[in-house]
Amino acid sequence: MPEAPSDRTPSSPFRRHLLMGMAALPAATLLPRLARAAEKPTAEVNTTGLAVTDDTVTCGILHSLSGTMALSETGATEAEKLAISQINASGGVLGRQIKVVQEDGASDWPTFAEKARKLLASDHCAAVFGCWTSASRKAVLPVFEQLNGMLYYPTFYEGLEQSKNVIYTGQEATQQILAGLNWVNKEKGAKTFYLIGSDYIWPRTSNKIARKHIEGHLTGCKVVGEDYFPLGSTQFNSVINKIKLTKPDVIYADVVGGSNVAFYKQLKAAGIDLKKQTLMTISVTEDEIVGIGGENIAGAYACMKYFQSLDNPNNVAFVAAFKKMFGEKSVIGDVTQAAYLGPWLWKLTVEKAGGFDVDKIAAASGGVVFDKAPEGYVRIHNTNHHLWSRTRIGLAQADGQFKVVYETPDLIEPNPFPAGYQ
């Protein structure tokens, strides 16, 4: 079989620019340590037949480049490539340059499983960065567990999962939801909530958690409505009428993908002004606003761990490097940032473990710290392979960005199997 064109790192003049843009990044400080690590012989760092040579290590990127998910997954792909090129420019991992094999999951779950199997069984990838939807992750999970691969999964998701072979770099549902509900209850005095979601596992689980929290932990609060719409649905008039009748303090929305465009436009057309009616979403990032249009969603609150507008040196450098590589107009959403963490966390874990073997990586992942993350300091949980992270609330602006209005004081512990919320 001909191999996929593998090395997609940018050409050298480009890389020079990148290096200069990255002066603020952590890589430089790690260089001396790397030089030492590179002396480790391949036989010692790779005892399980991974694609590791004396100067390269092969990793896979597995996202949808075609089909309905391509639009969402492009950002994640780009962020992973950026991280990999930065790691390579700073000396690689244990002195080895990362070679990338990219595969197209084509928004099709069996294809994801097939490509995952190819990346592990044929290409012997040391790690794979990829997947976006829960369905694609569920499809590849048995493959990773059977062939003992390592997947870095970037999307915020419903939880209820934990695997030795997956590092979840996005937030699980309780991390994303609880702090936001507390804030809106305290700051906005919200008592009544209307839950609206797309009809699949993530919104249903998220709303279940939200409902338990609202009814069980926030005094005097209740859910006045809960509705679901098929993926891709564009008719929200009925629920908008119900909202007008029940007049909830907060519309709590986890509508995903293209449906968002119709939802926010119809809300606006129905005369619901988001500056007066509080709306909190956990599914709209800067990427989605490009489609929705900033003027249609301005005034809504989004609750997640990262916004492009975060003002810290790590993020400023990250946004600059991203725009330099992929164009001034590119936007960076929560998942894109989480995807960027994947290669860095893997690199740090490999260095901590002193080798590429998946079993060692899985064991060493707990406690790995990446303090130069654009979202700020993150740490992999000691046991459950999710990340400790802050949750932030952003106010949507007409220009398509969010203004951060709140951030949790502490990192929130990931809890994929939340007791009392199931």
* Chain residues in the site for other proteins (CB under 8 A): 1-2, 4-5, 65-66, 102-104, 106, 108-111, 113-115, 117-118, 121-122, 133-135, 138-139, 141-143, 146, 158, 160, 199-201, 204-205, 208, 230-231, 417, 422
Quick one: 202 or 307, whose CB is closer to other proteins?
A: 202
**Token pair listed for 180:** 């936001």
Quick one: 4 or 71, whose CB is closer to other proteins?
A: 4
**Token pair listed for 87:** 């790691």
Q: Are strands 387-388 and 378-380 parallel, antiparallel or unpaired?
A: antiparallel
Per the CB < 8 A criterion, the answer to whether 73 and 155 are in contact is no
Quick one: 2 or 220, whose CB is closer to other proteins?
A: 2
Quick one: 214 or 289, whose CB is closer to other proteins?
A: 214
CB of residue 228 vs other proteins: minimum separation in angstroms? Answer: 9
Quick one: 135 or 369, whose CB is closer to other proteins?
A: 135
Exposure pattern of 68-82 as b/e (b: 16+ CB <10 Å)?
ebbbbbbbbbbbbbb
CB of residue 384 vs other proteins: minimum separation in angstroms? Answer: 12
CB of residue 166 vs other proteins: minimum separation in angstroms? Answer: 13
CB of residue 68 vs other proteins: minimum separation in angstroms? Answer: 10
CB of residue 104 vs other proteins: minimum separation in angstroms? Answer: 4
CB of residue 199 vs other proteins: minimum separation in angstroms? Answer: 6
CB of residue 153 vs other proteins: minimum separation in angstroms? Answer: 14
Per the CB < 8 A criterion, the answer to whether 390 and 305 are in contact is yes
Quick one: 138 or 268, whose CB is closer to other proteins?
A: 138
Report how far apart, in Å, the C-alpha atoms of 360 and of each of 41, 145, 356, 377 are: 17, 15, 7, 23
CB of residue 4 vs other proteins: minimum separation in angstroms? Answer: 5
**Angle, vertex CA 375, rays to CA 56 and CA 401, nearest 5:** 115
Quick one: 21 or 159, whose CB is closer to other proteins?
A: 159
Quick one: 236 or 318, whose CB is closer to other proteins?
A: 236
Quick one: 2 or 409, whose CB is closer to other proteins?
A: 2
Q: Residue type at 26?
A: P
Q: Residue type at 7?
A: D
CB of residue 295 vs other proteins: minimum separation in angstroms? Answer: 31
